Structure 1
Amino acid sequence: MNVLITGAGRLGTQIAQVLSAARDEVTLIDIDDDRLAELEGRIQVRLVTGDACEPALLEQAGALTADLVIATTGDDEDNLVISLLAKRQFSVPRVAARVNDADNAWLFDERWGVDVAVPAATPLISLIEEATGATDTVALLRLSKAGVDVIETAITPQSKAVGRVLGDIRLPEGTVVATIVREGQPTVPDPAIRLAAGDELLLVSHSATEQEIHAAFQ
């Protein structure tokens, strides 16, 4: 699946990581060149700098061949403009948009090209399920038909991974950490991050079993 994500904030970045781990073709757009520079080499997606409200930029980023556009910027007006362009000008089959201000939720419908409107407080995985139309998380991460599974594991005070650097954890072959949720907030799984009790990890794997993944942390 060809996915275009606008907004490289925390939410957009995490969605990009999960979908790219599922072997979808993902392009992440942001107007902030410095923000994208920080992500260079850290996530395996195509990065495009520019204003996603500009039709020429969306076309350059691949909107003509996109199966899904997800507008995740922190500005509702921008998300609506992006959605309308994606649906009306580029005929993108499915368009999802983040609703930052609940008072604006009534605007996010088919009149503005929005197929799925998702409140900002929606949990990451639920948001991706809504955006892609998947009925469950496992189905979501099998969109590429590559047999990719998603597995969650929690770091408890008794876990052997407590206090260890993520990059030092030996993961089963074909397994990557898609995101770490700490104190309710998803964060980029930097290899230098030190794991703490209470962390929740979302991993995707092409071959490892749930038991093998849990064993790496517990």
Structure 2
Amino acid sequence: MYIVIVGAGDIGTPLIEIATAGGNEVVVIERDEAKAELVASSFDCLVIHDDATVKDTLLDAGADRADALISTTDQDATNIMVCLLSKELSIPKIVSVVHNPDHMDIFRQIGVNTMENPQRLIAEYLYRSVKRPAIVDYMRIGDEAEVFEITVKEDSPIDGKTLQEADTAGLLSAEMLIVAIERNGGGHPITPRGNTRLEAGDLLTVYSGKGATPEITDIFGHYEDHD
């Protein structure tokens, strides 16, 4: 792929590393001279030291023939302008970091895929790790729903039951779905069926429309404070 990356800061630099390592043709636009020089000396990519909010700069970067553009600057206003110009140039895939959640709708209105401020996501992840240690990994979907990983504890309410038995016993609500089961560290997850029996030590991938609340994690034997 031909990818234009705008910004070589804390977000852009790891992205540049991943994109170049993946064999993509990468062009980076960075206004800060020191950052531009560092990227040019560190990665196999073309670096343009200029302002990406100017259309000619994007054209110099070959944006009119790019497969994708990713804007990673720390200013939402800059990212919005870059994305608007990218739409004018008919770049097929446009993605941007969004720092202020209030600006999400603006990006959606102009048809840009977005990623919330990664620093905030990391902060939420760290807080969750302290507050809810039972959750191995999670991803939020919308305002409440979450997909998370959790292990089945021995003698928990769901231990030893099939999914059908757990449903009959009222352990699995209508808003819950067990998506995958990893057993004994196996590399191939088990696809859950009604007659699949859960065992202590199973690592489950679970979808919950109400999130990973203490009432939900209790089912798997992780009894935590309900505050």
When normalised by structure 1's length, the TM-score is: 0.53
- Cα offset, 1:39, TM superposition: 2.4
- Distance (Å, rounded) in 2 between the aligned partners of 1:60 and 1:79: 18
What SS class does the counterpart of residue 108 from structure 1 fall into?
Answer: helix
The alignment covers a number of residue pairs equal to 121
- Cα offset, 1:91, TM superposition: 0.5
Identify the residue that residue 117 of structure 1 maps to in structure 2: 114
What SS class does the counterpart of residue 57 from structure 2 fall into?
Answer: helix
What SS class does the counterpart of residue 74 from structure 2 fall into?
Answer: coil
- Distance (Å, rounded) in 2 between the aligned partners of 1:27 and 1:7: 11
Q: Which has the larger radius of gyration?
A: 2
Report the residue type matching 1:62 in the other structure: G
Identify the residue that residue 87 of structure 1 maps to in structure 2: 87
- Distance (Å, rounded) in 1 between the aligned partners of 2:118 and 2:41: 28
- Distance (Å, rounded) in 1 between the aligned partners of 2:90 and 2:77: 20
Identify the residue that residue 55 of structure 1 maps to in structure 2: 55
Report the residue type matching 2:75 in the other structure: D
Where structure 1 has 5 or more consecutive residues not aligned to the other structure, the ranges are: 125-218
Which structure 1 residue ranges, 4+ long, deviate > 4 Å from structure 2? none
Q: Residues 17-60 of structure 1: CA distance to partner in whole angstroms, max 9, x if unpaired?
A: 10111100001111111211122321111111100000000000
- Cα offset, 1:112, TM superposition: 2.4
Q: Relative CO higher for 1 or 2, CA cutoff 8 Å, sep ≥ 6?
A: 1
- Cα offset, 1:105, TM superposition: 1.4
Where structure 2 has 5 or more consecutive residues not aligned to the other structure, the ranges are: 123-227
Report the residue type matching 1:120 in the other structure: N
Identify the residue that residue 172 of structure 1 maps to in structure 2: none
When normalised by structure 2's length, the TM-score is: 0.51
Identify the residue that residue 100 of structure 2 maps to in structure 1: 101
Q: Contact conserved, 2:40 with 2:46, CA < 8 A, in 1?
A: no
- Distance (Å, rounded) in 1 between the aligned partners of 2:114 and 2:40: 29
What SS class does the counterpart of residue 41 from structure 2 fall into?
Answer: coil
What SS class does the counterpart of residue 13 from structure 2 fall into?
Answer: helix
Q: Contact conserved, 1:83 with 1:113, CA < 8 A, in 2?
A: no
Identify the residue that residue 159 of structure 1 maps to in structure 2: none
Identify the residue that residue 2 of structure 1 maps to in structure 2: 2
- Distance (Å, rounded) in 2 between the aligned partners of 1:56 and 1:69: 15
Report the residue type matching 1:104 in the other structure: H
Report the residue type matching 1:112 in the other structure: I
